[in-house]
Structure formats: C-alpha cells, structure tokens
Amino acid sequence: MIKKLAIVLLVLMFGNTLYGQTLEETKDWIKEKLETFRYQEPGFPNVFTVSFDDENITFHFKRTSYGSTYETETTIPVKEMQQIRFSENKNTVWIVFRVKNGKDIKYLYNQKIELKNETNLIMDKDILNDDLEERLKKAFKSLISSYGGSLEEAY
C-alpha cells in the first residue's frame, strides 16, 4: 500500500514536468512563433521582438523607412487577458488581444502612452499552417493560467 501511495505521489509531483511544458518553455515557444511569423511589409524591413516579465508580455516594433524611424511598444498584462482571436484578412492574419474590463494595454508611440483594452499583431498568413492558430491559443491559455488568469472561452 505504501509503495502504491509513493508512486501516486511521484506521478502527481512530476506529472507536469513529464507531460507538460514549463512556463519558460511556453514563453520561449510563443516568442519564437510570434517573431517568426510576424508580417514583414515588402520593402520595409523591421525588427519585432517579444519579451516577458513577471506580469506582462511586451511587443516591441521598430521600422525605418524614408529616413524616419517608427517605433512602438505594446505591453499587455498577461493575467488580465480575456480573449485572443485570429482574424484572417486578404494578405495577413491579425491576432487580436483583449483584456478584461477595467484593465489596460499600454501602447507607447512617440513617447506618448495610450491605454486601450484591445490590440492586435499583424502576422504572415503562414501562421495558419501546421495548426499553429490552435497551438498558439493553447499556449496562451497555459501562459495566462500560469500568471493566475483565465481566458474567456468562445461558444
């Protein structure tokens, strides 16, 4: 009986390690997919990075065109994410992030901060291949749960 109990306890303690992704692995996977499939406007190279801290995911975008530099930073409180949806357009796919009412996404542009409850990332259509849409939704659901939040389920 004691052996069986010890085995059950070991499985419970290490089950997540054996069968699931760690928080860092989830963050790394999301970062890699978003940076890889970010829409690149022809003729306008840009730099796009994703970073995480203890509370937020941040998207940093920088593009130089016609001698001017365009730079934005969008910071989303992970725990407060309410909804993530994909919207297919003619040449791109938008990932739309919405936070709970009363919470804000911080959008920084030209040293001005704008607070809003929804933002989007413009992605290359290749993000629809290999079931990445569903896999990203699942990864974000796991990430949000790890931060203490929960996603609104679509019906």
Q: Output the furthest CA–CA distance in the chain (Å, rounded).
A: 74
pTM: 0.83
Instruction: Examine residue 72 and state whether it is found in any structural domain, yes or no.
Output: yes
Is 6 inside any structural domain?
A: no
pLDDT at 104: 96
88 found inside a domain = yes
Residue by residue, DSSP assigns 109-125 as ETTEEEEESEEEEEEEG
Does 14 map to a domain? Answer: no
- Note whether residue 13 is domain-resident: no
Separation of alpha carbons 87 and 62, rounded Å: 23
Which residue has 């659901």 as its token pair?
Answer: 141
- Asked if residue 76 belongs to a domain, the reply is yes
Length of the chain: 155
pLDDT at 21: 87
Q: Average pLDDT in the 25-35 region?
A: 97
For the segment 21-42, the average pLDDT, to the nearest whole number, is 94
Each residue's pLDDT tens digit, 72-124: 999 999 999 999 999 999 989 999 999 998 899 999 998 899 999 999 999 99
Q: How far is CA 127 from the centre of its chain?
A: 13
How many structural domains is the chain composed of? 1
Is 125 part of any domain? yes
Domain hosting 31: range is 21-146
In a domain, 8, yes or no: no
